[in-house]
């Protein structure tokens, strides 16, 4: 039986020599190391041998098994290396050729500004509240204290759908009503970003489609000083602490009192230039204390609750930051413009 083991070893190793491909190697493994191979049969039947024979045959059998396994490993390695060399030779790769650059995408400048807004307002405790672009007349006007024949409607003329009373929102303010109705009677601190639409003559500073970021804070004891400082702090964070802001009296039907916030012209530092029309100031936001009628429409009792709201134009901020002089560039999808940011 020892002779048999010796010849198994000799024969197996010899036939391994001639193998040059994976299929033949797999077959070899089955023939010589498989369950039904002569070697495995001998090892499997050790129990049938006499006590005297068993140790020597067992020892030699295991030696042969280890030798075949080691030879197999070495062969796998050799075939692998040969395959690699062959493929390197056949598919020669010129590593000195310059690579083709992959065009990398980037965020739209407006999206970049919006994300800055979100981060700053989040730090100040305001979360994003999404609301729809397609609105009803009721939400866009009526509930914001702008009745059917109010002259203020002229300022916010829009695109109407063929369904009566359904229109594209002219501002993000209707989102105030949605937010209040969703949260009432809890306190609110939200910003409402989104696209707005207006029936306008398109110019370098006005488009029929633009973004706004509305803000709304409602609670008990929310005061005008809260609004002044909150908005001033936002301006400091987005423009830098060196810029002064001012508030001017204004009028909006949905706030009382109403005001507008200006920031010192970031282009000329307040000296006066064409960007600020030689006033030294840039209008940044409309704002005010939420009108009692609007609070009531949102479900809050105006004798108990108060709030402030504002509406900003983030594209205006993007234009100031990057010295963009024409608002029409934003949605034209012109790569020559977009690739600059
Ligand atoms: N909705 C106004 C507009 O589009 C902007 C605005 C002004 C929003 C005052 C407000 C606000 O929330 O309090 O012109």
Cα distance between residue 266 and residue 281, in whole Å: 8
Cα distance between residue 270 and residue 197, in whole Å: 31
Say if residue 87's pLDDT is above 90.
no
Asked if residue 238 lies in contact with residue 191, where contact means CB atoms within 8 angstroms, the answer is no
What's residue 88's pLDDT? 86
Ligand 1 atom 5: the closest Cα is on which residue? 311
* Number of Cβ within a 10 Å radius of residue 283: 15
Cα 173 to averaged position of ligand 1 atoms, centre (Å): 6
Cα distance between residue 199 and residue 209, in whole Å: 9
Instruction: Please tell me what DSSP assigns to residue 24.
Output: H
Asked if residue 314 lies in contact with residue 113, where contact means CB atoms within 8 angstroms, the answer is yes
Say if residue 123's pLDDT is above 90.
yes
Say if residue 181's pLDDT is above 90.
yes
Work out the pLDDT band at 263, boundaries 50, 70, 90: very high
Indicate the top mutation candidate among 155, 173, 179, 213 to test ligand 1's pocket, ranked by most ligand atoms within 8 A of CB.
Answer: 173
Phi/psi-derived region of residue 268, left when phi > 0, alpha when psi is between -120 and 50, beta in every other case: alpha
State if residue 290 touches ligand 1 by the CB under 6 angstroms criterion.
no
State if residue 311 touches ligand 1 by the CB under 6 angstroms criterion.
yes
In sequence order, what E strands does the chain have? 127-128, 134-136, 166-168, 188-197, 209-219, 245-250, 255-264, 281-290, 306-312
Cα distance between residue 159 and residue 105, in whole Å: 33
Q: What is the pLDDT of residues 283-337, one digit of tens each?
A: 999 999 999 999 999 999 999 999 999 999 999 999 988 989 899 999 999 999 9
The mean of the pLDDT values for the chain is 94
State if residue 171 touches ligand 1 by the CB under 6 angstroms criterion.
yes
pTM: 0.72
Asked if residue 192 lies in contact with residue 214, where contact means CB atoms within 8 angstroms, the answer is yes
Cα distance between residue 45 and residue 100, in whole Å: 64
């Amino acid at each position: 039986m020892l002779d048999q083991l010796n010849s198994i070893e000799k024969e197996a190793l010899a036939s391994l020599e001639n193998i040059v491909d994976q299929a033949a190697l797999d077959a070899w493994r089955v023939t010589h190391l498989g369950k039904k191979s002569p070697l495995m049969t001998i090892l499997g039947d050790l129990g049938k041998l006499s006590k005297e024979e068993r140790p020597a045959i067992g020892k030699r059998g295991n030696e042969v098994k280890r030798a075949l396994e080691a030879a197999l490993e070495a062969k796998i390695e050799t075939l692998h290396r040969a395959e690699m060399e062959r493929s390197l030779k056949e598919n020669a790769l010129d590593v000195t050729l310059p690579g083709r650059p992959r065009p990398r995408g980037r965020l739209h400048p407006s999206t970049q500004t919006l994300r800055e807004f979100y981060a700053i307002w989040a730090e100040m405790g305001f979360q994003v509240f999404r609301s729809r672009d397609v609105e009803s007349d009721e939400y866009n006007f009526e509930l914001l204290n702008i009745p059917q024949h109010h002259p203020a409607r002229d300022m916010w003329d829009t695109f109407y759908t063929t369904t009566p009373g359904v229109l594209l929102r002219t501002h993000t303010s209707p989102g105030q009503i949605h937010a209040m109705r969703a949260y009432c009677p809890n306190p609110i601190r939200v910003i409402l970003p989104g696209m707005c639409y207006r029936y306008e003559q398109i110019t370098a500073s006005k488009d029929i489609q633009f973004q706004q970021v509305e803000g709304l804070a409602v609670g008990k004891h929310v005061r005008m000083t809260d609004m002044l400082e909150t908005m001033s702090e936002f301006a400091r964070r987005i423009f830098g602490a060196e810029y002064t802001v001012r508030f001017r009296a204004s009028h909006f039907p949905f706030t009382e009192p109403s005001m507008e916030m200006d920031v010192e012209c970031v282009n000329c530092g307040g000296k006066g230039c064409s960007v600020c029309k030689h006033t030294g100031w840039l209008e940044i936001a409309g704002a005010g204390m939420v009108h009692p009628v609007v609070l009531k429409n949102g479900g809050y009792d105006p004798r108990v609750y108060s709030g402030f709201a504002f509406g900003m134009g983030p594209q205006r901020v993007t234009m100031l930051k990057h010295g963009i002089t024409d608002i029409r560039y934003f949605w034209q999808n012109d790569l020559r413009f977009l690739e600059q940011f």
